[in-house]
Amino acid sequence: MREKDINEWPIIDPLPSYGRGRDSAGGRYSNLIMGYNLTDVVITGNNGTIDGQGETWWKMFRNKELNYTRGFLIELMYSIQVLISNITLVNSPSWNVHPVYSSQVIVSGITILAPVNSPNTDGINPDSSSNVRIEDCYIVSGDDCIAIKSGWDEYGIAFNMPSKHIVIRRLTCISPTSAVIALGSEMSGGIQDVRAEDITAINSESGVRIKTTVGRGAYVKDIFVRGMNLYTMKWVFWMTGTYGQHPDDNFDPKAIPVVQNISYSNVVAENVTMAAKLEGIPGAPFTGICIYNVTAEVVKSKKPIWNCTDVEGVSSHVTPTPCAQIPESPDRITHCPFPEDDLPVLMTLVLWTVVTTAFIGTAEGHRHYRRGGSETELEAFHYAAAGAGGCRAHVASLTDFGGVGDGVTSNTAAFAAAVANLSKVAYDGGAMLVVPAGRWLTGAFRLTRHFTLFLDHDAVILATQDINEWPIIDPLPSYGRGRDSAGGRYSNLIMGYNLTDVVITGNNGTIDGQGETWWKMFRNKELNYTRGFLIELMYSIQVLISNITLVNSPSWNVHPVYSSHVIVSGITILAPVNSPNTDGINPDSSSNVRIEDCYIVSGDDCIAIKSGWDEYGIAFNMPSKHIVIRRLTCISPTSAVIALGSEMSGGIQDVRAEDITAINSESGVRIKTTIGRGAYVKDIFVRRMNLHTMKWVFWMTGTYGQHPDNNFDPKAIPVVQNISYSNVVAENVTMAAKLEGIPGAPFTGICIYNVTAEVVKSKKPIWNCTDVEGVSSHVTPTPCAQIPESPDRITHCPFPEDDLPVDCVGLEECSFRRTKP
């Protein structure tokens, strides 16, 4: 925690490229964690927290009681080889992470949380820094989630240190009053070569915002953005040449900034006020703008859809039709540029993984070197590993086994041959199959032990729509039958049984289930068997699924069943919100499962924890337990963010969920069961949820779901107990809670603490409670009588502080290169 005594924060000099503090003239309060002229410095952890306790600073700033500029949580100046990873930053007085005058900086897997009305709580601000990599971060901010800077007016011009060679990928941002990624406005040293991809934003003001003004000088150029999904925005694109104040009156009015070569590709935006506000500088227009393959769903508004002045560019495949200054020119462009070369920071990393379980083995470091100069064309990439096998000794490409990535040729045989051949050497240091860029049509195939399936960037595994390529397999023994119909199941696209040390990862490659045909047959009741899933791993241990995108699954997406030590990290799952049963991630009779940094849009539950169905699950008797879910973003208008059940007849215990964001979803954490299920749902701990537009914040029901047959035991009454919810903020909800237990077997031990739900006017009761028992404190609106406010009895709801075994598993980063065949 940051010390609140202002005297503990000595005054330091202003940054030379700014000339003064940003809040006021003169110096700055020191930063909480600082480093100067350092080499090889790491700030990391097991998701520990740095709390800036910023409320006092924000109040003094608003009341103009500060004589100096507020400090940041982390500032590293004139430093090289920096890694900041796997920590949470909350309530910074001002900016959170500020690498300045530095190079070779990696910020990976961090969470930043600040109230959305807190002043200037930018997330990550590279400033006059080069070779910076920002990835897999989740940020809720009162200002820009990421802001790239390089000095202020004449001070930045004189200092003359640009920010350049910056990569941003797999970022999730919530910033209602600011930008997802901002360039400027303090950019007087220049900003060049910024590459942003796979960006998700919810309820943020603008996507990538360029802001500058006369007097800044320098340039913002060679900016490349692709793969953005934006939900509820004011502007998709915003550029302005009239933004920001000056440090003093000595700026040069002839210092005109140059903005050129700005590319945006593959952007989908929903519920936006305007497609773009592009306002250059009269006499110095912003040029070289390229916009390709963009769809923006604009709400009805009196504002113009596009507002463009003093800009020049070209566009293609853009909806709604752009302004005249960015004309549609499909004959001139088939894409907008995005660099394919690797920056040095992509090839160089020192990452130390501290290991406390036998899962990984001895702690060790791995240094990955940049590619050297050569006339031989090389392919090189990084991939994740977790398990005793670590990095793989044997690597092959699907093309080595006859694979053809044209989207038409079947690769079922190629996948089978590749796995069969690599399985022969996998025992000796592990094996990896690379799926290169292309569209690889295939039917179902199986994985093997000590094996990695790697999907390169722009690689798409396409599930065949030929139903004969999906052989029938047995129903799950804990279910007794298929879920869609009695009998067996169609096989899953990617399967594994009795495996150890198996990894499915990539450079954000895609697995496309092409589910529309399956959904249509299901709705028309034309299927005799249950639809398959995209990924199912059964009776397996040491599983890692990371850095891939799954789209259009026929049914569930990821299904670890009867498995343990499973990590699902940094994946994106997308399905139409009306698609049937397209659950995101469903741990089923599995233990020690870690789900983190995932973004899911689903036609059903984003995550559903299960453990068998009625008498079959009771007999199989394998619970789901010791499950951690953190930093999840979910959109599911008809279902839950996290569901427990309804198939839970093996039991569900010790589930820990934290830092959850949901938008336009039916309910937060939903417990669903019924008479005949038996078993239990107990020791469920949830904290720090931000929910926007929901039907119910809390929902529990003891009357949910059908039975596999008529042989269920009506005396098998499920037990639901010890359910804790803390630190929840919900906006635009219909009801605070619908809590309905079982008559004669109430749900007990419910604890609700520090919850604020903004309920819209409705004829429905705000709280609907029957057959439940519990306690609450600091809850608005006032809970039902069964969950009475008892601030004298509780000061918090429990959340375990111990680490589960799966929490102590580190992910090892490996690299591979070979001469292209």
Which H or E element spans position 421?
A: helix 412-423
Q: Is 604 a catalytic residue?
A: yes
Token digits of residue 391:
């990095």
Beta bridge partners of 231: 202, 270
Cα end-to-end distance, the chain, whole Å? 54
Q: At 574, which amino acid appears?
A: L
Phi/psi for 302 (5° steps) reads -80, -15
Sign of the Cα pseudo-torsion (523, 526, 529, 533, in order): negative
Per-residue buried b or exposed e for 476-497, using 16+ beta carbons within 10 Å of the residue's own CB? bebbbbbbbeeebbbbbbbbbe
Integer Cα distance of 33 and 706 in angstroms: 55
Phi first, then psi, for residue 61 (nearest 5°) are -65, -45
What residues are paired with 463 via a beta bridge?
442
Inter-residue contact 815 to 381 (CB < 8 Å): yes
Q: How many CB atoms lie within 10 A of CB 624?
A: 27
Contact 316, 334 (CB under 8 A): yes
* Amino acid found at 229: N
Distance CA 531, CA 521 (A): 10
Q: How many CA atoms lie within 13 A of 588 on its CB side?
A: 25
Closest Cα to residue 647, out of 782, 783, 809, 475? 475
Using alpha carbons only, what angle is made at residue 585 by residues 584 and 590, rounded to the nearest 5 degrees?
160
Residue 692 near residue 664 (C-beta atoms within 8 A): yes
- Match 């940020």 to its residue by tokens: 139
- In angstroms, rounded to a whole number, what is the distance separating the alpha carbons of residues 613 and 605? 17
Sheet with 535-538, side-by-side order of all strands: 445-446, 494-497, 535-538, 558-561
Q: Which amino acid is at 381?
A: F
Which of the residues 310, 583, 597, 604 is marked catalytic?
604
In 702-819 the beta strands, taken as DSSP E runs, fall at: 719-740, 747-759, 767-770, 772-780, 812-819
Strand order in the sheet with 33-36: 33-36, 74-77, 97-100
Residue entry with tokens 């001469």 = 819
Evaluate the CA torsion angle 758, 762, 765, 768 in order and state its sign. negative
Find the length of the chain: 821
DSSP for 697-715 reads EEEEESB----SSTT--TT
Strands 607-609 and 640-645: parallel
Query: Token pair of 816, please?
Result: 């591979």
Give me the residues paired with residue 33 across strands. Answer: 74
| Tokens of residue 393, six digits | 């000794």
Whether 443 contacts 412, CB under 8 Å:
yes
The tokens describing 131, both together, are 């070779």
Phi, psi of 636 (to 5 degrees): -155, 85
Burial of 27 (0-12, 13-18, 19+ CB in 10 A): middle
The CB density around residue 367, as the number of other CB atoms within 10 Å, is: 9
Number of neighbouring beta carbons within 10 Å of residue 253: 7
Distance of CA 355 to the CA centre of its chain: 24
Distance separating alpha carbons of residues 187 and 46, to the nearest angstrom: 35
Distance in angstroms (rounded) separating the CA atoms of residues 669 and 742: 18
Catalytic center residues: 604
